[in-house]
Amino acid sequence: MTDPRIRPATPADVDAVLAFWRTAAEGTSISDDRDGVARLVERDPQALLLAQDAGELVGTVIAGFDGWRCHLYRLAVHPGRRRRGIGSALLAAAEERFVRLGGRRGDAMVLTRNEVAHHAWRASGYAPEEHWRRWVKPLADPAD
C-alpha cells in the first residue's frame, strides 16, 4: 500500500461514506444518515476527511471545529487495512486542520466498549478524561 491520499469529502461521497461506516465504524448515531452527512459536508466542507488508496475509501475522520473547541468523530479504518498508518494519517490531517484554525486541543468521541479504538487513540497521544460524561438529548423523533 502507498501512503493514503487524504482529502475532504464532497457531496458526491456521502453514499460511499455511509456504506463505509456500515463496514468499518462501530455503532451509529441519530445523524448517521444521508441528510446528516450531507449537511455536515455543506456546512463545513473541510471537516469530513477521507483516506483513499488507489481510489478506494479506506478511512474517515470528522474534524469539527466550532470556533472554540476541536472535536473528532468517526475515525474509522477499513478492517482489512488497519495497523498500516491510515488512522494516524487521518489524525495528523485533522490536527493540522485544527492548528490552522486556531484550535488548541482535540477532543475525541470514543465508545466505551470499543477497546481496540482505545489502544489506537492512546498510541496517538490521546487520553480519556474520566471526570467527563457525555449527556445527550435527541432533538427530533428518529421516525421523522
Residue-wise DSSP of 33-84: SHHHHHHHHHH-TTTEEEEEETTEEEEEEEEEE-SS-EEEEEEEE-GGGTTS
Q: What's the CA gap between 68 and 65, in Å, rounded?
A: 7
- Compute φ and ψ for 96, nearest 5 degrees: -60, -40
- Please report which helix (H) or strand (E) contains residue 116, including its range: helix 115-123
Q: Domains in the chain, ordered, with CATH?
A: 5-123 (3.40.630.30)
What pLDDT does 110 receive? 87
Other Cβ atoms within 10 Å of 127 Cβ, number: 9
| Residue 27 to residue 51: CA distance in whole angstroms | 20
Dump pLDDT digits (tens) for 10-59: 999 999 999 999 999 876 677 789 999 999 999 999 999 999 999 999 99
Question: Comparing 138 with 95, which gets the higher pLDDT?
Answer: 95
pLDDT digits (tens, 9 = 90+) for 88-123: 999 999 999 999 999 999 999 888 888 888 989 999
In terms of DSSP bridges, do strands 106-108 and 70-77 run parallel, antiparallel, or are they unpaired?
parallel
